Amino acid sequence: MTGPTNPAPRAAISAPPALDARESADNAPANTPGTDSGSRTRRLRRIRRALAITAVLAVGVIATAVLSSGTRHGYLDPRSADPAGSRAVAELLKERGVTTRVVTTAREAADAAGPRTTLLVTDPDRLGPTQRDVIRSAIDLSGGRTVLLAPSSHSLPDLSPGVHTEGDADTDRPDPGCTLPAATSAGRADTGGGHRYTTALPGAVRCYPSGGHPTLLVLPTGPAGGDTVLLGSDTILLNESLADEGNASLALQLLGSRPDLVWYLPSLADSDPAATDSGEDKSLLELVPAGWSWALLQLFVAAALAALWRARRLGPLVTEKLPVAIRASEATEGRARLYRKADARDRAATVLRAATRERLAALVGVPHIQAHDPVALVPAVSARLQGEPRDVTALLFGPIPSDDAALVALADHLDVLEREVRTS
């Protein structure tokens, strides 16, 4: 006879899929609307911070560039207020009615040269052969004045034939030593420290001699009149030295003899590869492009602003619950395993004996500072023991166990000793 059918098996058969579905849903990562909105908010906040940092850096760079764009140009540049610029002499010439025009190519310089013009070539040695020929034609045909700053034997044959260099000057500020009005009225000037010249051309005026050779040479040039001035050093035109000695007077008279001044700064297109690749070793700072110091300053300011923006005031320490509570027995077992792995029976025995001595000292009334003194501790402990006498000194202050079994036996004996003292 069969009884009523038990529906439990069917329920048991159909239940696992539902349970699996629920367990899968429970184990799946939470993806609630609140979580999505929170992560989206944090992402937007990080994006806004990044944009704010970028904006601050951009504003700082633009502001620095704008503030320095009108004063920083280059070496011997009449627009530059840097110590190595020449803006000071250009401003003084302007006050005296001399118009200064800056050009960067030899063709522009030659086209601007004329009888009422002073042509200043700031770096003759940088010119290529074609550019030197163009400047030489301008010297011969312009009828004005041409000033060549520190030309050497590289450019002298083309720009001023018949003139040769005689090494470097050994006097930084020589006396005029000539009858040239500009030199006699200026007095001593910083024409030394550069090249010295020698020539046999007629009509040459030799000034500021150093070792018997002039550092300033004035030559008549061309059938149209005019003259050429060879200056062995460019120091008298720099902002940082214009106020020294008679530099300002000499510079103004050499460059201000005509109403127009063409200031020729040779560009890279006018450079001569043979002159630029001279084989001279340059220091690391000379190889770094101009303006690196300003870029470094901008980075420093940006870093300082970012540090101030991201700075946070440190508050008091806040206690935090550990995520897992570790039982003392587990910590003891872990340390014991470390001692065993390192074969440190000496350290383990020392720790066991020291802890036992401290507890025994508290039980027998020995001060804590004398807990490790056998003279004070051993008699007090022995007085609390009953039964057969034992070597308490060897137990509490004895040698290091020879093996692990001896270490275990030592731990057992220490437990028995402490229990006996505690119960006595």
Query: pLDDT tens digits for 71-94?
Result: 446 788 999 888 889 999 999 999
Least confident of 173-177, 312-316, 320-324: 312-316
Contact 192, 170 (CB under 8 A): yes
Segment 373-383 shows an average pLDDT of 89
- State the average pLDDT for the chain: 81
Q: For 275-293, what is the mean pLDDT?
A: 60
Please give the pLDDT value at position 239.
92
In the predicted structure, residue 70 carries a pLDDT above the cut 50: no
- Beta carbons of 251 and 168 less than 8 angstroms apart: no
Instruction: Give the pLDDT band of residue 271 (cuts 50, 70, 90).
Output: low
CA distance 263 to 121: 7
The answer on pLDDT for 292 being more than 80 is: no
> Is pLDDT at 13 greater than 80 in this prediction?
no
Res. 272 pLDDT band, cuts 50 70 90: low
Whole-model pTM: value is: 0.52
Average pLDDT on 170-184 reads 89
One-letter amino acid for residue 41 of the chain: T
**DSSP structure class, residue 89:** H
Rg (alpha carbons) of the chain, rounded to whole number: 47
Span 407-416, average pLDDT: 90
189 CB-near residues (< 8 Å, 6+ apart): 173, 183, 208, 236, 245, 246, 247, 249, 250
CA distance 193 to 17: 98
In the predicted model, what is the mean pLDDT of residues 385-414? 87
pLDDT surpassing 70 at residue 286:
no
pLDDT of 16 above 70: no
